[in-house]
């Protein structure tokens, strides 16, 4: 995109609090309502720290409940180096991917991090310190497994208790319209508050043949459940939420909507290498610098900087403003900008303040998975 482009958005929020007497150890929040809370504690080796997800407020972060997402080693006073989970900060869909990271403990108790994203430069964000819950509420980190749970695919599993043993069975599969799924039987025992371990038995659809038996760990935190199955290919984590009412249990999961091929949301790259990541808020779209071509590096743009402000006018057509800067970034202003999107292709027109126009194009990076759902057909 001419004279701009966008970036990985790491919108971080939490409850502000001063640094505790324990120094850097404690609870930190990232991502506001769509984020998660991690507990940072001392690692096994001297001078190391490990951050584990202890609560999640979105399906994305629930996949990492009880997993390590931050590993740091003290470099100097209040300064650390290590790595951060790329999935945790929305830089990758690979849960095994890591990014090099640097961190600094700020005077207000927050933890500032800088991660290096290959091909996109460095991105800075902040974990905000969260106050520890009162002692009387500590048991909230655990919970009883008995009850009905729904995961992100719509499958419902019911757990029943018989003495020390809990047995779980799927009562509604994720895809009831595509034939019978394998029967799953989970048998676990409580190992600690909210922590259960045992086996998961996978049977044929008719329930007669045992196809495999795997180790499983189930962790309950309030109304959130995480199951971690150990397979030959590695560990597979699944998150679920407790169903509270009969009406909620009876509601079938709606089918996934098709994406809108005219939606701007996602990452776009111009032929010269300028790359922009767009996010949406209702009908408004914001573009952030993700990568700069060599010819644009001298104009003062920064990775993660807001460079586009657009409004969706009609299907596939957007209008708004683009940020323009002079060489060295000494002066800047906003010019009128229009965008047309058709699937993985984008074309734009920039209306310069001198009366001239500039036209260009771009291509979608990574496909349509970030686009909005397609509008419902009119009857």
pTM over 0.85: no
CA dihedral sign, ordered 257, 261, 263, 265: positive
Any idea which residue has 């090099």 for tokens?
A: 100
Q: Which two tokens stand for residue 351?
A: 């209306």
Query: 57-71, 82-96, 319-333: which has the highest mean pLDDT?
Result: 319-333
- Identical fold between 138-250 and 266-370: yes
For 28-42, 126-140, 223-237, 265-279, which range has the lowest pLDDT when averaged over its residues? 126-140
Q: Model confidence at 10, in pLDDT bands (50, 70, 90)?
A: very low
DSSP classification of residue 60:
H
Q: Which listed CATH number (1.10.287, 1.10.3470, 2.40.128, 1.10.8) goes with 138-250?
A: 2.40.128
State the pLDDT at residue 333: 92
State how far the Cα of 269 lies from the Cα of 276, in Å rounded to an integer: 6
pLDDT tens digits, 261-307: 889 998 999 988 899 999 988 889 999 988 888 777 788 888 888 99
pLDDT of residue 52: 84
Average pLDDT (153-170) is: 86
CA distance 226 to 243: 14
Instruction: Give pLDDT tens digits for 216-253.
Output: 988 887 788 888 888 776 677 777 888 874 444 444 44
Q: Where are the domains of the chain?
A: 26-132, 138-250, 266-370
Q: What's the topology of domain 266-370?
A: Lipocalin (2.40.128)
Q: What is the rounded CA–CA span in Å between residue 198 and residue 13?
A: 37
Contact criterion met (CB below 8 Å) for 171 and 157 = yes
CATH topology of domain 26-132: Lipocalin (2.40.128)
| Burial 279-295, CB ≥16 within 10 A → b, else e | bbeeeebbbbbbbbeee
- What is the structure's pLDDT at 233? 67
Cα–Cα separations (whole angstroms), residue 219 to 30, 62, 239, 273, 333: 21, 12, 10, 44, 52
Residue 14 is predicted with a pLDDT of: 29
Contact 86, 69 (CB under 8 A): no
């Amino acid at each position: 995109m001419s004279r701009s482009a966008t970036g990985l958005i790491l919108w971080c929020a939490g409850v502000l609090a001063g640094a505790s007497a324990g120094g850097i150890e404690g609870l930190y929040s990232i991502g506001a309502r769509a984020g998660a809370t991690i507990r940072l504690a001392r690692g096994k080796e001297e001078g190391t720290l490990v951050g584990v997800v202890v609560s999640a407020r979105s399906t994305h972060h629930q996949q990492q409940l009880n997993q390590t997402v931050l590993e740091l080693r003290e470099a100097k006073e209040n300064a650390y180096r290590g790595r951060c989970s790329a999935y945790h900060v929305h830089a990758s869909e690979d849960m095994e991917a890591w990014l090099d990271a640097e961190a600094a403990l700020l005077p207000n108790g927050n933890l500032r991090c800088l991660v290096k994203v290959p091909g996109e430069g460095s991105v800075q964000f902040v974990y905000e310190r969260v106050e520890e819950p009162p002692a009387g509420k500590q048991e909230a980190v655990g919970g009883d497994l008995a009850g009905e749970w729904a995961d992100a695919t719509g499958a419902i599993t019911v757990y029943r208790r018989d003495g020390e043993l809990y047995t779980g069975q799927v009562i509604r599969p994720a895809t009831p319209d595509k034939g019978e799924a394998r029967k799953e039987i989970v048998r676990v025992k409580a190992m600690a508050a909210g922590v259960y371990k045992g086996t998961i038995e996978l049977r044929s659809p008719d329930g007669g043949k045992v196809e495999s038996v795997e180790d499983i760990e189930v962790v309950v935190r309030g109304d959130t459940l995480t199951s971690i199955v150990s397979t030959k290919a590695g560990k597979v984590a699944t998150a679920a939420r407790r169903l509270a009412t009969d009406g909620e249990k009876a509601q079938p999961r709606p089918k996934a909507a098709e994406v809108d091929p005219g939606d701007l949301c996602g990452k776009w790259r111009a032929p010269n290498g300028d790359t922009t990541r767009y996010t949406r808020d209702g009908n408004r779209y914001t573009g952030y610098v993700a990568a700069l071509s060599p010819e644009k590096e001298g104009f003062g743009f920064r990775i993660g900087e807001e460079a586009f402000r657009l409004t969706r006018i009609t299907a596939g057509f957007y209008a708004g403003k683009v940020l323009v800067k002079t060489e060295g970034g000494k002066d800047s202003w906003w010019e009128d900008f229009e965008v047309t999107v058709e699937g993985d292709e984008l074309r734009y027109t920039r209306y310069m303040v001198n009366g001239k126009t500039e036209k260009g194009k771009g291509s979608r990076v990574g496909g349509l998975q970030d686009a909005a759902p397609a509008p419902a057909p009119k009857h």
